[in-house]
Structure 1
Amino acid sequence: MKKVVLASLLAVAGAATMMQPCFAQDAPAAAPAAGQTGGQVQMSADEYKVYNDADTATTPAAKAAGFEAYLKAYPNSAVKQDALQKLMFAYQGTNDPVKTLDAADRLLQVDPSNLTALYVEAFLRRNAADALADPAAKTAGLDKAAGFAQTGLTAAKPQNMPDADFQKLKSQATPVFESVIADDDISKKDYAGAITTFKTEITGAPADATQTPGPVLQDVFFLATSYMNSTPPDYLNCAWYATRAAAFAGQYASAIQPTATYCYKKYHGKEEGYDKLQALVKTSLTPPADLATTITPAPKPADLVANLIATTPDLATLAISDKEFVLQYGKPEDADKVFGTVKGKSTQFPDTVVVAATADQLQVSVSDDAVQSKTADFAFNFATPLKTVPAVGDKITLTGTYASYTQSPLLITMSDAAVVPKKAPAKAPVHHTTHH
């Protein structure tokens, strides 16, 4: 008779980049001996050979094929759980997520609380859902991934696993489980749920995970955007966590900084004093209790509008963003007064972002607020239907004549609209060679 040492749960490694968490295996050694002790199981020489051939294969593909053959030949093996776990990671080594998930499914049929399989299910199913374009299918996929993550958070320790090993594995897998659950909340616009879960994740993670580019720091940023998208928006917390993420994001900071600055200006009213916040976030993951007194809020919109009207002799000279602000937040008489300065006038708007499009009308984002929230603040009506309708998200230059507006939600309607064609790049001059 031969013996084989049962495999322990695999260790979950940290993320190598912001987007690609990975996991690794500590391979167990085969230990042929007589009798049965501890975590060792007796098997016949024939069975041991098939198992050992698979276990000692030198490539992931060969190891996967070997364990598939072993499980087919010995479907009721005493080490079926061990073989399925090794099969799962062999398929992971071949970069085959479909077969990796299939192996994880089979492993959970044998061991429903297997923490490693639950990690694989949550992580790979989240990745697959994120790649889907259809919102309903994406949410359904994230729901399924979150279900495995919820089970993983309460998974019990296997009897034959040392407490220290299980706690190490649990501490490494838990941030991923919480991240998946928060992603599912975001897909359903449950920002309160996402905030709670993200905060649990980042406060429970090791300090270095929130100070180096990786999945946890990425979720610090997603916590910020959850505050920004809440109803009503919490721009102060958004500014704190986005600025904190940008401070430690290295090469990724340029993608995060615009949100951090946007939320700070929305809360404080201007960018002045932002350097104070940038210094504060480096000393603490979470904001201090007195942050709202350190970084003071901007005056209320109604107060800003009143001051703007009182201090601007010629309302026609206001910038487009200021006019929009008055139209949205001003008293009806003040809004009408400002719109009267532009009504009937034609204007060109460069780099508007298409939000909705038909041949007769384009709804676009013009102001910074509208671009950030991906909502339309202008509607351009065409007298002649467009021959080519731009796609949502396209940036185009438009001209039109101010016709009307609605105050809540703000939408300015332009008539006689036209799309300004993009200029063709200038041709390089042709140099003619004179032959002598």
Structure 2
Amino acid sequence: MKKVVLASLLAVAGAATMMQPCFAQDAPAAAPAAGQTGGQVQMSADEYKVYNDADTAATPAAKAAGFEAYLKAYPNSAVKQDALQKLMFAYQGTNDPVKTLDAADRLLQVDPSNLTALYLEAFLRRNAADALTDPAAKTAGLDKAAGFAQTGLTATKPQSMADADFQKLKSQATPVFESVIADDDISKKDYAGAITTFKTEVTGAPAEATQAPGAVLQDVFFLATSYMNSTPPDYLNCAWYATRAAVYAGQYASAIQPTATYCYKKYHGKDEGYDKLQALVKTSLTPPADLATTVTPAPKPADLVANLIATTPDLATLAISDKEFVLQYGKPEDADKVFGTVKGKSTQFPDTIVVAATADQLQVSVSDDAVQSKTADFAFNFATPLKTVPAVGDKITLTGTYASYTQSPLLITMSDATVVEKKKPAAKAPVHHTTHH
């Protein structure tokens, strides 16, 4: 999921506790004394010394090294589970996610329902997957993280653990499990699944967690974007949850607000009344049943096109976004009429965003809708192949001649394309100093 820059911004408030969970499942007690026979565990004096040296080590790194040595010397120890859990916590204390996961893997081999190990597997593997750039590898990583999260949601209480302690532990881990599962859904474009899981997470969280920057408020926003990316898009619910997230995001609101206002305008057709929605979202996390009567939908695209054509004497004066709107939603004869005003004309497009690239063609996002949905609405064909092909996501300025278009999905094709190179700053003239004698 993802998760772009916003994820790290909104997670700032909760990052420290998420990376260093303050809970421990059935945390092991101190080792029994050497030769103890009254309890369930007996240790020789030699084994006890190795265990105790590890357990009382002064630093997490020393503790980890000590427990590794203990487990190597006593692989079938009666306290192997406890030693592995302490090893996992020690590696966590060194901020080493790779070794923390290795210890968690080993712990789950002997204790498959260990909730803390499952939590760390889900959380750390999701973090690692989010950092990947290869889509297939990212999806595989999120799949694995989600598998641990699913197991965590159904994990049962250890016999030796009090009900209250287990429920406290479960309440801390469950939102993370649900968030990881929803992220996995998003990576597969299963937005319906993501919506269901995100809603379960955020409605089950304490109210204050949805009213301050943190992991849960972050997922309120991703619930909004899941609605926006659904087929067909649900712009009303997107507007509600994105506005709710923006209202409580504090200094991070600027990263969220564009999506909130975009969805509101896509649903309502204009900015009018948005301040009322901003006030309304403060009353509840979830939208009221009559929200659709409070925020009325915009006229249908066909109606807007008809009105635009009727009220514009010179169609050539339409803005690019309006021309695109007519091309996509207008009657074929109206679309052809509008395209006729630009066909054969050369135009420059600044700051287009690359969606797909070859040496012969760049597909780019130009309109706000295309940028939001990360789809191409223009294809620029080059007569001379590019020597340097830009990367997906790059911003570049292009020129081209309007050649043709397809209406659904909308794609405007430009011929004789060129990339406009950024101007280099003018070199400063050298300063000449007069030599005085």
TM-score by length of 2: 0.91
Of residues 301-310 and 380-389 in structure 1, the stretch that sits farther from structure 2 once superposed is 380-389
Describe the shift of the 1:421–1:78 C-alpha distance in structure 2 as closer, same or farther (beyond 3 A).
same
Distance 1:326 1:415 in 2: 21
Describe the shift of the 1:334–1:93 C-alpha distance in structure 2 as closer, same or farther (beyond 3 A).
same
Q: Tell me, which stretches of 5 or more residues in structure 2 are unaligned?
A: none
Describe the shift of the 1:168–1:6 C-alpha distance in structure 2 as closer, same or farther (beyond 3 A).
farther
1:37-436 alignment to 2 at 5 Å? 41-425=41-425, 427=428, 430=431, 435=436
TM-score by length of 1: 0.91
* Contact 2:352–2:366 (Cα < 8 Å) also in 1: yes
Describe the shift of the 1:434–1:288 C-alpha distance in structure 2 as closer, same or farther (beyond 3 A).
farther
Alignment partner of 2:347: what SS? Answer: strand
Distance 2:432 2:236 in 1: 59
Alignment partner of 1:344: what SS? Answer: coil
Describe the shift of the 1:413–1:2 C-alpha distance in structure 2 as closer, same or farther (beyond 3 A).
closer
Instruction: Spell out, residue by residue over 1:262-290, the C-alpha distance to the aligned partner (whole angstroms, 9 max, x if none).
Output: 11111111122211111111221111111
Alignment partner of 1:403: what SS? Answer: strand
Q: Note the C-alpha offset of 1:41.
A: 3.7
Distance 2:234 2:179 in 1: 21
Describe the shift of the 1:189–1:31 C-alpha distance in structure 2 as closer, same or farther (beyond 3 A).
closer
Alignment partner of 1:388: what SS? Answer: coil
Q: Note the C-alpha offset of 1:67.
A: 0.9
Describe the shift of the 1:22–1:34 C-alpha distance in structure 2 as closer, same or farther (beyond 3 A).
closer
Distance 2:374 2:388 in 1: 22
Instruction: Spell out, residue by residue over 1:186-223, the C-alpha distance to the aligned partner (whole angstroms, 9 max, x if none).
Output: 11111101100000000111111111111111111111
Distance 2:326 2:2 in 1: 83
Distance 2:3 2:201 in 1: 41
Describe the shift of the 1:353–1:322 C-alpha distance in structure 2 as closer, same or farther (beyond 3 A).
same
Instruction: Spell out, residue by residue over 1:316-358, the C-alpha distance to the aligned partner (whole angstroms, 9 max, x if none).
Output: 1110000000000000011111111111222111111111222
Q: Note the C-alpha offset of 1:251.
A: 2.3
Q: Tell me, which stretches of 5 or more residues in structure 1 are unaligned?
A: none
Describe the shift of the 1:323–1:93 C-alpha distance in structure 2 as closer, same or farther (beyond 3 A).
same
Distance 1:428 1:178 in 2: 61
How large is the Cα RMSD of the aligned pairs? 6.8
Instruction: Spell out, residue by residue over 1:136-158, the C-alpha distance to the aligned partner (whole angstroms, 9 max, x if none).
Output: 22111111111111111111111
Q: Note the C-alpha offset of 1:434.
A: 7.6
Q: Note the C-alpha offset of 1:411.
A: 0.9
* Contact 1:5–1:28 (Cα < 8 Å) also in 2: no
Distance 1:248 1:10 in 2: 11
Instruction: Spell out, residue by residue over 1:95-134, the C-alpha distance to the aligned partner (whole angstroms, 9 max, x if none).
Output: 2212111111111111111111111111111112222222
* Aligned positions, number: 436
Alignment partner of 1:257: what SS? Answer: helix
Distance 1:133 1:255 in 2: 22
| Corresponding residue number in structure 2 for 1:32 | 32
Q: Note the C-alpha offset of 1:304.
A: 0.3
Alignment partner of 2:418: what SS? Answer: strand
Describe the shift of the 1:94–1:303 C-alpha distance in structure 2 as closer, same or farther (beyond 3 A).
same
Q: Note the C-alpha offset of 1:49.
A: 2.0
Distance 1:34 1:5 in 2: 53
Describe the shift of the 1:346–1:161 C-alpha distance in structure 2 as closer, same or farther (beyond 3 A).
same
Distance 1:307 1:181 in 2: 45
* Contact 1:352–1:398 (Cα < 8 Å) also in 2: yes
Q: Note the C-alpha offset of 1:9.
A: 30
Alignment partner of 1:223: what SS? Answer: helix
Alignment partner of 1:228: what SS? Answer: helix
Alignment partner of 2:398: what SS? Answer: strand
Q: Note the C-alpha offset of 1:361.
A: 1.8
Q: Note the C-alpha offset of 1:379.
A: 1.3
* Contact 1:12–1:24 (Cα < 8 Å) also in 2: no
Describe the shift of the 1:382–1:81 C-alpha distance in structure 2 as closer, same or farther (beyond 3 A).
same
* Contact 2:26–2:161 (Cα < 8 Å) also in 1: no
Q: Note the C-alpha offset of 1:11.
A: 19
Distance 1:264 1:414 in 2: 32
Alignment partner of 2:405: what SS? Answer: strand
Distance 1:81 1:59 in 2: 21
Describe the shift of the 1:23–1:221 C-alpha distance in structure 2 as closer, same or farther (beyond 3 A).
farther
